[in-house]
């Protein structure tokens, strides 16, 4: 259960209206907003827990209906009962939940990141910390049911995953040359009561921790690592964020918090960890021997098969007296993992294009979420009339900002909703000429995805913006659709949810006299138009000859 008595005893100062600086405070704030579902029923962490929360994403619920789940009666397949509750979805089941962790409305998240990166606040070291109220190390880690076995680590993809996995991790490592710490969210498999398999991606644009590992390997030393499970969301949110390797992410978290993050020296390795964390697993990663790790259901939508990955010998586990274990729901997107990335990545891409590259006319960046997991497909929305050269600069900027993002970049006009795949296809079909508006560029990193022999991929850039005026979208005008909606309701027809675009709108190509025809038509005066057009009849033409090309062109409205 949440330790209400312990509340903030040793946590950092709470900022009025600012982000929660302790994970259990965050849970209480979610609770106050009705965003937590409590499950007190006995739930098997290995076969039931993640599949239950998974239904939030596969069950047709709207994004805003998703909740954080708090499991307070966790058991496993062998009937073992765990005294640590498990929270899933508490970091980013929905943008609203993420926003509570940031202490900001969803709309302000992008700017908050940009400001925090520009104005980091260095952490402050404290002597004693809530995260070290309980310390288990040495031979105690190997007592029956102790060590990693004490933690209620769920299986994320039962039926495919090879072990229970830590997913909501903040893996802290230190550059042995510069002394700067890096924090990354990397999966870690339970291997023994005192051993984890840790996957730090070695691809270009992959894990910062891997770059540190290479340096320890050269020195023939093991790499100290501290894996934080549960702490202030602003600190956890830096895990999936791609920041330059020499930036201290704890200071960026301070920038997000508006106050220094309290950190404490780990008990068995030379690293600093958030003082108010729930659980910290300290250890040494072998820099020579790698161990088979996987399978594990991945966010690129496939199960990652067995790879040689890092092996971490646990040297200590420290916890609060009453910690909460945190797990992230990942695998096929949308998922908590993709929501956490989307809310931070999209505004940062927009800021890069608009503020750094100065692209004129860029309105919005939308990363495609279902199945593709944001990185591969990026939509850029441009204002009408944007110069094609700016559209192409934008496409190139989006494709090159991050090594693993932007394999497929598509520019659309403002009226096309990037979340509406049908509208995108409509735009591709009628607003782009593949021979001219499509460019394929070789030499892209294969990025995040199922393993293949091919190490390199390509990039496709498509300009599907409106290049010239076009006739209106062929739906009744807004006033008629609104009147019909009222009628629909009065007639007691089945409830409907209007799906944009639900009314016609101008795309620039229209003549004033068409308005006269349309008005007469709805007033029952269509024959007046017929009388006029009969006087304009001509011979020597074939059907479908545009009137404009024959009569003098009409002025556009």
Ligand X SMILES: Cc1cc2nc3c(=O)[nH]c(=O)nc-3n(C[C@H](O)[C@H](O)[C@H](O)COP(=O)(O)O)c2cc1C
| Options 30, 112, 200, 411; binder of ligand X; rule CB under 6 A | 200
Least Å distance between CB 290 and ligand X? 14
Least Å distance between CB 245 and ligand X? 7
E strand spans, 112-251: 124-125, 134-137, 165-166, 169-174, 181-184, 188-192, 195-198, 223-229
Q: Which stretch binds ligand X (CB under 6 A): 21-29, 179-187, 457-465, 489-497?
A: 179-187
Q: 3-state secondary structure string, 65-119?
A: HCCEEEECCEECCCCCEECCCEEECCCCCCHHHHHHHHCCCHHHHHHHHHHHHHC
**Interface with ligand X includes 327 (CB under 6 A)?**
no
| Options 209, 347, 361, 394; binder of ligand X; rule CB under 6 A | 209
Token representation of residue 87: 């929270």
**Interface with ligand X includes 95 (CB under 6 A)?**
no
Half-sphere exposure of 499 (CA within 13 A, CB side): 7
Least Å distance between CB 200 and ligand X? 5
Spatial contact of 169 and 188, defined as CB atoms under 8 Å apart: yes
**Interface with ligand X includes 260 (CB under 6 A)?**
no
The rounded distance, in Å, linking the Cα atoms of 330 and 300 is 9
The rounded distance, in Å, linking the Cα atoms of 258 and 112 is 10
Q: Which is nearer to ligand X, 296 or 382 (CB)?
A: 296
Spatial contact of 376 and 447, defined as CB atoms under 8 Å apart: yes
**Closest to 296 in 3D by CA, of 311, 306, 283:** 306
Least Å distance between CB 136 and ligand X? 25
Q: Which stretch binds ligand X (CB under 6 A): 106-114, 177-185, 392-400, 487-495?
A: 177-185
Q: Which is nearer to ligand X, 147 or 209 (CB)?
A: 209
Q: Which is nearer to ligand X, 160 or 392 (CB)?
A: 160
Q: Which stretch binds ligand X (CB under 6 A): 12-20, 26-34, 200-208, 437-445?
A: 200-208
| Options 12, 147, 158, 206; binder of ligand X; rule CB under 6 A | 206
Least Å distance between CB 189 and ligand X? 10
The rounded distance, in Å, linking the Cα atoms of 173 and 210 is 9
**Interface with ligand X includes 311 (CB under 6 A)?**
no
| Options 84, 253, 256, 328; binder of ligand X; rule CB under 6 A | 328
Q: Which is nearer to ligand X, 190 or 207 (CB)?
A: 207
E strand spans, 230-270: 262-265
| Options 21, 53, 207, 280; binder of ligand X; rule CB under 6 A | 207
Q: 512-522 and 526-534 are packed helices; what angle lies between their axes, rounded to 10 degrees? A: 130
DSSP state for residue 300 in the 8-state scheme:
T
Region 228-257 residues binding ligand X, contact defined as CB under 6 A = 239-242
Owner of token pair 């010239």: 468
Q: Which is nearer to ligand X, 148 or 328 (CB)?
A: 328
Q: Which is nearer to ligand X, 82 or 186 (CB)?
A: 186
Burial pattern 408-419, b for ≥16 Cβ within 10 A else e, equals bbbbbbebbbbe
Give the interface size with ligand X as a residue count (CB under 6 A): 23
| Options 24, 185, 318, 432; binder of ligand X; rule CB under 6 A | 185
The rounded distance, in Å, linking the Cα atoms of 552 and 469 is 19
Distances, alpha carbon 153 to alpha carbons 75, 85, 149, in Å: 10, 10, 8
Least Å distance between CB 110 and ligand X? 17
**Interface with ligand X includes 157 (CB under 6 A)?**
no
Peptide bond between residue 311 and the one before it cis (omega within 30 degrees of 0): no
Q: Which is nearer to ligand X, 210 or 379 (CB)?
A: 210
Least Å distance between CB 249 and ligand X? 6
**Closest to 452 in 3D by CA, of 310, 352, 557, 305:** 305
Q: Which stretch binds ligand X (CB under 6 A): 139-147, 156-164, 180-188, 263-271?
A: 180-188
Least Å distance between CB 183 and ligand X? 6
Q: Which is nearer to ligand X, 200 or 401 (CB)?
A: 200
**Interface with ligand X includes 199 (CB under 6 A)?**
yes
The rounded distance, in Å, linking the Cα atoms of 173 and 185 is 12
Least Å distance between CB 187 and ligand X? 4
Distance of CA 263 to the CA centre of its chain: 27
Q: Which stretch binds ligand X (CB under 6 A): 34-42, 63-71, 201-209, 317-325?
A: 201-209
Token representation of residue 385: 């009339």
Residues that bind ligand X (CB under 6 A): 167, 182-187, 199-201, 206-209, 239-242, 328, 330, 337, 340-341
């Amino acid at each position: 259960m949440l330790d209400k008595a312990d509340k903030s005893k040793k946590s950092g100062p709470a900022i009025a209206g600012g982000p929660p600086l302790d994970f259990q405070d965050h849970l209480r704030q979610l609770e106050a907003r009705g965003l937590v579902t409590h499950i007190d029923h006995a739930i098997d962490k290995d076969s039931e827990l993640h599949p239950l929360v998974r239904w939030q994403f596969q069950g047709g619920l709207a994004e805003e209906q998703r909740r954080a789940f708090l499991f307070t009666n966790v058991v496993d397949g062998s009937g073992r009962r765990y005294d640590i509750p498990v929270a899933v979805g508490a970091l980013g089941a929905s943008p609203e939940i993420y926003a509570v962790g940031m202490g900001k409305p969803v709309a302000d998240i992008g700017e908050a990141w940009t400001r925090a990166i520009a104005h980091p606040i260095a952490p402050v070291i404290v002597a004693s910390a809530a995260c070290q109220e309980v310390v288990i190390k040495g031979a105690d880690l190997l007592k029956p049911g102790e060590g990693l076995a004490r933690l209620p680590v769920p299986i994320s993809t039962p039926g495919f995953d090879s072990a229970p996995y830590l997913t909501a991790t903040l893996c802290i490592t230190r550059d042995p040359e510069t002394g700067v710490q890096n924090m990354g969210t990397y999966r870690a498999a339970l291997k023994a009561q005192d051993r984890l398999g840790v996957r730090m991606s070695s691809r270009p644009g992959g894990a910062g921790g891997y770059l540190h590992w290479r340096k320890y390997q050269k020195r023939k030393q093991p790499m100290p690592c501290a894996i934080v499970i549960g702490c202030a969301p602003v600190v956890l949110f830096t895990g999936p964020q791609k920041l330059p390797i020499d930036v201290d992410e704890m200071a960026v978290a301070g920038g997000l918090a508006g106050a220094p993050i309290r950190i404490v020296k780990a008990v068995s390795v030379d690293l600093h960890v958030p003082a108010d964390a729930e659980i910290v697993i300290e250890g040494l990663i072998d820099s020579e021997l790698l161990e088979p790790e996987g399978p594990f259901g991945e966010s690129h939508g496939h199960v990652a098969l067995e790879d040689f990955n890092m092996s971490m010998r646990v040297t200590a586990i420290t916890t609060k007296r009453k910690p909460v274990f945190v797990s992230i729901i990942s695998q096929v997107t949308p998922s908590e993992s993709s929501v956490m990335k989307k809310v931070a990545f999209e505004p940062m891409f927009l800021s890069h294009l608009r503020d750094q590259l100065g692209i004129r006319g860029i309105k919005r960046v939308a990363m495609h979420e279902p199945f593709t997991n944001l990185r591969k497909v990026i939509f850029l929305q441009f204002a009408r009339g944007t110069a094609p050269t700016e559209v192409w600069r934008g496409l190139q900027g989006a494709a090159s900002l991050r090594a693993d993002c932007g394999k497929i970049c598509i520019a659309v006009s403002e009226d096309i909703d990037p979340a509406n795949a049908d509208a995108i296809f409509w735009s591709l079909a009628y607003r782009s000429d593949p021979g001219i508006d499509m460019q394929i560029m070789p030499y892209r990193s294969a990025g995040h995805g199922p393993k293949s022999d091919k190490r390199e991929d390509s990039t496709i850039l498509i300009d599907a913006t409106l290049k010239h005026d076009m006739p209106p979208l062929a739906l009744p005008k807004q006033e008629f659709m609104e009147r019909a909606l009222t009628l629909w309701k009065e007639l007691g027809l089945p409830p409907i949810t209007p799906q944009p675009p639900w009314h016609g709108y101008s795309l620039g190509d229209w003549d004033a006299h068409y308005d006269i025809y349309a008005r007469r038509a709805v007033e029952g005066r269509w024959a007046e138009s017929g009388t006029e057009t009969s006087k304009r009849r001509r011979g020597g033409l074939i059907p479908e000859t545009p009137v404009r090309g024959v009569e003098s062109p009409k002025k556009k409205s």
